[in-house]
Amino acid sequence: MLLERESLLGSLHDHLTAASQGSGSLLLVAGEAGAGKTSLVRGFVESLSASTLVIQGACDPLTTPRPLSPLYDFAADPNSGLDGLVHKDKPAIEMFSEVLDRLRNTVRPIVMVIEDLHWADEGTLDFLKFIGRRIAESRGVLVCTYRDDEVGTDHSLRPVLGQLILLQSTHRLVVPALSLAAITHLAQDRPFDPADLLSLTDGNAFFVTEILASEESLPASVQEAVVARVSRLDEPSRRVVEAVSVAPRSLEIGDAATLAGASLDDVDTALAAGVLIGDGRDLRFRHELARSAVEEALPPARRFGLHMSMLQLLEEERSLDYARLAHHAIKAGEAELVIGYAPRAGREAAGSGSHMEAAAFFEAALQHADLVAEDEAARLRVELANELGIVDRRTDALHQIDLAVDFYRRSQDEEALASTLVPPLNARWRLEDAKRFRDGLQEALTILEAKDPSKDLARAYLVSAYQHMLARRGVDASRDVAKARDTADSVGDTGLAWMIQMLEGTISVVVGDNQSGVRVLSDTVERARLAGNIDDEILGLMMLGSGGGEVRRYDVAIPALEKAVDHGLAADQDYLVAYTRSWLARIAFELARWDDAVDYASLVDRATAYRKGIAILTGLSTLGRVRTRRGDPGASALLDEMVALSHSHELQHGWNAICGRAELYWLRGEAEKGLDLLRPAYEEALNTDSQWARGEIGFWMWRVGAIDGPPEGAAEPFALQMAGDWSAAAQAWRDIGCPYEEAMALADGPEVAKLEALDTLDRLDARPMADRVRHQLRDLGVESIPRGPTKETLSNPAGLTSRQLEVLRLIAGGSNNEQISDELYISKKTVEHHVSAIYSKLGVSSRLEAMRTAAEVGVFEK
Amino acid sequence: MPRYMVEREFPQGLEIPTNPEGQKAMLGVVDNNATEQVTWVQSFVTDDHAKTFCVYDGPSPEAIRRAAGLSDLPVNKISEVSVLDPYFYVGATG
Contact (CB<8Å) A602/B62? yes
For residue range A368-378, list pLDDT tens digits in order.
Answer: 999 999 999 99
Which of A598, A791, A802 faces B62 most closely, judged by CB atoms?
A: A598
- Average pLDDT, integer, range A671-696: 96
Mind telling me how many Å the CA of B47 is from chain A's nearest CA?
17
Mutation for A interface: B24, B71, B72, most A CBs within 10 A: B72
Mind telling me how many Å the CA of A303 is from chain B's nearest CA?
52
Residues of B in contact with A790 (CB under 8 A): 9-12, 74
> In chain B, whose CA is at the least distance from the CA of A631?
B77
Q: Please, are residues A19 and A11 in contact by the beta-carbon 8 Å criterion?
A: no
Contact (CB<8Å) A803/B72? yes
Residues of B in contact with A800 (CB under 8 A): none
Query: A412: alpha, beta or left, given left = phi > 0 and alpha = psi -120 to 50?
Result: left
For residue range A260-294, list pLDDT tens digits in order.
Answer: 999 999 999 888 888 888 888 899 988 888 898 89
Mutation for B interface: A606, A632, A808, most B CBs within 10 A: A632
Contact (CB<8Å) A765/B75? yes
Instruction: Write A258-263 long-range contacts (CB < 8 A, 24+).
Output: A258/A313, A259/A306, A259/A309, A259/A310, A259/A313, A260/A236, A261/A236, A262/A236, A262/A237, A263/A236
Q: Please, are residues A800 and A836 in contact by the beta-carbon 8 Å criterion?
A: no
Write down the pLDDT at residue B72.
85
For residue range A699-724, list pLDDT tens digits in order.
Answer: 999 999 999 999 999 999 999 999 99
Query: Nearest CA to A600 among A614, A618, A613, A612?
Result: A618
Write down the pLDDT at residue A680.
96
pLDDT, greater one: B88 or A78: A78
Mind telling me how many Å the CA of B93 is from chain A's nearest CA?
33
Mutation for A interface: B27, B36, B62, most A CBs within 10 A: B62
> In chain A, whose CA is at the least distance from the CA of B11?
A790
- A627/B contact by beta carbon, under 8 A: yes
Write down the pLDDT at residue A794.
45
Contact (CB<8Å) A830/B69? yes
Contact (CB<8Å) A632/B61? yes
Contact (CB<8Å) A626/B62? yes
Residue A612 in this model has a pLDDT that exceeds 70? no
Contact (CB<8Å) A794/B72? yes
For residue range A169-225, list pLDDT tens digits in order.
Answer: 999 999 988 988 888 888 887 778 888 888 888 888 888 888 887 766 667 787 888
- A787/B contact by beta carbon, under 8 A: yes
Write down the pLDDT at residue B8.
94
pLDDT, greater one: A794 or A747: A747
In this predicted complex, what is the ipTM? 0.87
Contact (CB<8Å) A633/B66? no
Which of A595, A634, A802 faces B72 most closely, judged by CB atoms?
A: A802
Contact (CB<8Å) B80/A801? no
pLDDT band at residue A4 using 50, 70 and 90 as cut-offs: confident
Q: CA A57 to CA A52: how far, in whole Å?
A: 16
Residues of B in contact with A802 (CB under 8 A): 72
Q: CA A807 to CA A839: how far, in whole Å?
A: 11
Q: What is the maximum alpha-carbon separation in chain B?
A: 54
pTM of the model: 0.75
- A596/B contact by beta carbon, under 8 A: no
Query: A274: alpha, beta or left, given left = phi > 0 and alpha = psi -120 to 50?
Result: left
Listed range (A188-192, A681-685, A728-732, B75-79) with the worst mean pLDDT: A188-192
CA A524 to chain centre: 27
Residues of B in contact with A787 (CB under 8 A): 11
Residue A426 in this model has a pLDDT that exceeds 70? no
Write down the pLDDT at residue B11.
84
Residues of A in contact with B82 (CB under 8 A): none
Which of A602, A626, A632 faces B78 most closely, judged by CB atoms?
A: A632
pLDDT band at residue B61 using 50, 70 and 90 as cut-offs: very high
Q: What percent of chain A has pLDDT over 90?
A: 60
Q: CA B86 to CA A826: how far, in whole Å?
A: 42
- A833/B contact by beta carbon, under 8 A: yes
- A832/B contact by beta carbon, under 8 A: no
Q: Please, are residues A393 and A429 in contact by the beta-carbon 8 Å criterion?
A: no
Contact (CB<8Å) A793/B10? yes
Q: CA A816 to CA A812: how far, in whole Å?
A: 10
The most confident of A76-85, A221-230, A364-373, B79-88, by mean pLDDT: A364-373
Write down the pLDDT at residue A852.
77
b/e map of A392-426 (b: 16 or more CB within 10 Å)?
A: ebbebbbebbebbbebbeeeeeeebbbbbbbbeee
Residue A639 in this model has a pLDDT that exceeds 80? yes
Interface of A with B in 837-856 (CB under 8 A): 837
Write down the pLDDT at residue A610.
56
- A804/B contact by beta carbon, under 8 A: yes
Listed range (A324-338, A391-405, A681-695) with the worst mean pLDDT: A391-405
Burial of A90 (0-12, 13-18, 19+ CB in 10 A): middle
Contact (CB<8Å) B78/A633? yes
Contact (CB<8Å) B25/A630? no
Write down the pLDDT at residue B1.
86
Residue A435 in this model has a pLDDT that exceeds 70? no
Write down the pLDDT at residue A856.
72
Write down the pLDDT at residue A2.
67
- Average pLDDT, integer, range A147-164: 83
> In chain B, whose CA is at the least distance from the CA of A787?
B11
Question: What DSSP string describes A161-195?
Answer: HHHHTTSTTEEEEE-PPPPHHHHHHHTTTSSS-HH
Contact (CB<8Å) A631/B4? no
- B76/A contact by beta carbon, under 8 A: yes
- B55/A contact by beta carbon, under 8 A: no
Residues of B in contact with A603 (CB under 8 A): none
Q: Residue A79: CB partners within 8 Å, gap ≥ 6? A: A53, A55
Contact (CB<8Å) A790/B12? yes
Write down the pLDDT at residue A702.
97
Name the strands in the sheet holding B51-57, side by side, starting at the edge strand that comes first in the sequence: B39-45, B51-57, B3-9, B77-81
pLDDT band at residue A120 using 50, 70 and 90 as cut-offs: very high
Contact (CB<8Å) A792/B12? yes
Contact (CB<8Å) B16/A794? yes
Which of B15, B72, B76 faces A801 most closely, judged by CB atoms?
A: B72
Write down the pLDDT at residue A858.
65
Which of B15, B66, B74 faces A791 most closely, judged by CB atoms?
A: B74
Q: What mean pLDDT, rounded, does chain A reach?
A: 89
Mind telling me how many Å the CA of B53 is from chain A's nearest CA?
15
Query: Nearest CA to A421 among A410, A432, A436, A449?
Result: A436
Residues of B in contact with A799 (CB under 8 A): 21, 24-25
Mind telling me how many Å the CA of B36 is from chain A's nearest CA?
12
Query: Nearest CA to A351 among A398, A396, A389, A387?
Result: A387
Which of A790, A804, A834 faces B11 most closely, judged by CB atoms?
A: A790
Instruction: Write A713-721 long-range contacts (CB < 8 A, 24+).
Output: A713/A689, A715/A551, A715/A552, A715/A691, A717/A741, A717/A745, A719/A695, A720/A745, A721/A745, A721/A748
Q: CA A415 to CA A456: how far, in whole Å?
A: 9
In the DSSP assignment, the letter for residue A384 is H
Write down the pLDDT at residue A644.
92
Write down the pLDDT at residue A853.
76
